[in-house]
Amino acid sequence: MTDQEKKQQRVSLGIEIEDAKEEFLHLQEKALRLADRLEEIVKKIRLNANHRPSKDDFTPEFELANKLKPEHQGVLKFDEIEKLIEELRAARKNLFNLIERKSQLFNGGSSVNVPFD
């Protein structure tokens, strides 16, 4: 293998790693936004479960404050949540494998921890 071919391997692997990191970070952000919406739903459920019966239940302001927002309606789609979890796992595995390949290429086959800059 020529030096030029070796350099090309390193460059190609570096690009693959950057692409994999970007994909993982996008999925991670999507998952964190979903988790935030789920936490909002959980807070509303807990808030409503802990309210004592009172005349406040008859006011429109109280009703609005304790209702879920329209953006919460589509959050609990379990098939989409399961798909996102699997995509995150696949992205982590892909990134790990690419970094392992890079490590082996640069360190003659020895394994190292995954650096995440």
What tens digit of pLDDT does each residue of 43-78 get?
999 988 998 888 988 999 988 888 888 888 888 889
Q: Which residues contact 104 (CB under 8 A, 6 or more apart)?
A: 110, 111
> Are 44 and 66 contacting, i.e. CB atoms less than 8 angstroms apart?
yes
> What is the model's pLDDT at position 86?
97
Q: Domain span at residue 35? A: 8-68+75-105
Burial 70-87 (b: 16+ CB within 10 A, else e): eeeeeeeeeeeeeeeeeb
| Structural domain count of the chain | 1
**In a domain? residue 36:** yes
Q: Which helix (H) or strand (E) holds 63?
A: helix 60-66
**In a domain? residue 113:** no
Segment 25-34, tens digit of pLDDT: 999 999 999 9
Name the token pair of 16. 């693959």
**In a domain? residue 30:** yes
> What is the model's pLDDT at position 96?
96
Whole-angstrom distance, CA of residue 62 vs CA of residue 79 = 33
**In a domain? residue 117:** no
